[in-house]
Amino acid sequence: MPAILGTPRETFPGERRVAITPRQCEALRKSKIEVLIESGAGAEAGYPDDAYTARGARVTDRQTVFREAQIVAQVRCLGANPEAGRSDLPLLRRGQILTGFGEPLTTAQECSDLAGSGVSFFAMELMPRITRAQSMDALSAMATIAGYRGVLLAASHLPKMFPLLMTAAGTLTPAKVFVLGAGVAGLQAIATARRLGAVVCAYDVRPAVKEQVESVGAKFVSLEVDAQGSEDKGGYAKAMDEAFYKRQRELLAAVLREQDVVITTAAVPGRRAPILITGEMLTGMAPGSVIVDLAAERGGNCELTRPGETVVHNGITLLGPLNVPSMVPQHASQMYSANIAAFVKLLVRDGAVVIDREDEIIRETLVTHEGRVVHPRVLELVAS
């Protein structure tokens, strides 16, 4: 018999993504995995129920999805949906597998509650950055969407156009865009701003990314700060001490004065985003300038960011958008669904679900199992 994968409709306010798209249903069936979809789950992402039926999925109600599925795949599990997600706890059962985003490094109570339900919870945020796991790297997939959309948000608020234009009415100079943080979101922001015709420069605490920044058409800004130890073994930026950030802010202030748009993307997994731009640093920026803080969900890289709001300070527009990938739900769902499908195929062998804790991917993403929190980093949070 095939394994059964269930995808319920997302309940987090404003969440428009879906964990499995119709295209993946067909691919999963070939791997002996049957798909159940809650009616309406894909509607806001542009995937109607009949598209799922046409690809071999069974469309049903929420209770049936949770009752019959051996594996439940969501975009936002309890930790990433702390209020509405609680209503799903009674629907989960011991021995069931749950996978999706769950913010395990900041939601110790929710992880404990999932452990109490008896499910084996796999957090997509904890996917190791190894070659074999690239097709499952949901964080990078969503960061790609966020970087693209962040630039469009900036362009829609900037009282200028991005490209150089030579017209009968005179020459329009190109917008100057500065990207802070050159991870996946930052690199996509650079590439998008360049395609729109802006002059782009970028900075990252990790000097090693200079070549990547230049490869997508931006100038790398070098600051005279000691950045040794700024990158962890997974390639993510590490938190630095306050003396480092103070010196960094002093040097960045001069760069900001020259910019029309600033896109900030600096985030440290499981930590509050570092403050890279203080209110004082904004005094040199021209009225009409725009800052898009893509780290707003972690508190923001700008001191004046208000998550989920747009602030105007001395003529500078500061955006703190939340859940940016959900603003592009169709492609975000397509990418996330591919990540989920690749991971689920790792768990299912000949129609049977197998949790092989010797496998690095499974071991590093497994948060709860057999009634306990088992991930070492999450255990530290639960114990503290």
pLDDT of residue 284: 87
Q: What values do phi and psi take at 227, rounded to 5?
A: -105, 20
pLDDT of residue 230: 47
**Do both 97 and 147 map to the same domain?**
no
| Whether the Cβ atoms of residue 142 and residue 332 lie closer than 8 Å to each other | yes
**Predicted confidence band at 262 (pLDDT cuts at 50, 70, 90)?**
very high
Per-residue pLDDT tens over the stretch 332-352: 999 999 999 999 999 998 889
CATH for 56 = 3.40.50.720
**Do both 206 and 171 map to the same domain?**
yes
| Whether the Cβ atoms of residue 126 and residue 328 lie closer than 8 Å to each other | no
The verdict on whether 39 is a catalytic residue reads: no
Residue 316, domain extent:
143-322
Among the listed residues 87, 134, 215, 222, the single catalytic one is 134
Domain count, the chain: 2
The verdict on whether 236 is a catalytic residue reads: yes
Q: Residue 27 above 70 pLDDT?
A: yes
Q: What is the largest CA-CA distance in the chain?
A: 72
Per-residue pLDDT tens over the stretch 161-170: 999 999 999 9
**Do both 129 and 277 map to the same domain?**
no
**Do both 259 and 122 map to the same domain?**
no
Please count the other Cβ atoms lying within 10 Å of the Cβ belonging to residue 249. Answer: 18
Among the listed residues 88, 137, 260, 293, the single catalytic one is 137
The whole-chain average pLDDT of the chain stands at 93
**Do both 36 and 101 map to the same domain?**
yes
**Predicted confidence band at 234 (pLDDT cuts at 50, 70, 90)?**
low
Among the listed residues 29, 58, 93, 129, the single catalytic one is 129
The verdict on whether 134 is a catalytic residue reads: yes
Q: Read off the pLDDT of each residue in 120-139 and give the average, rounded to a whole number.
A: 97
Among the listed residues 29, 67, 112, 236, the single catalytic one is 236
The verdict on whether 50 is a catalytic residue reads: no
Q: Residue 365 above 90 pLDDT?
A: yes
Q: Residue 268 above 90 pLDDT?
A: no
- pTM, to two decimals: 0.92
Beta-carbon contacts of 184 under 8 Å, excluding residues fewer than 6 positions away, are 139, 140, 143, 144, 147
Among the listed residues 112, 140, 194, 232, the single catalytic one is 140
The verdict on whether 24 is a catalytic residue reads: no
Question: Which of 252, 296, 255 minimizes the C-alpha distance to 273?
Answer: 296
Domain boundary among 272, 294, 322: 322
Percent of the chain whose pLDDT exceeds 70: 95
Q: What values do phi and psi take at 219, rounded to 5?
A: -90, 135
Determine whether 14 is exposed, middle or buried from the number of CB atoms within 10 Å of its CB (0-12, 13-18, 19+).
exposed
**Do both 41 and 176 map to the same domain?**
no
Q: Residue 372 above 60 pLDDT?
A: yes
**Do both 20 and 91 map to the same domain?**
yes
**Do both 205 and 127 map to the same domain?**
no
Q: Residue 17 above 90 pLDDT?
A: yes
The alpha carbon of residue 272 and the mean position of all alpha carbons in its chain are separated, in whole angstroms, by: 15
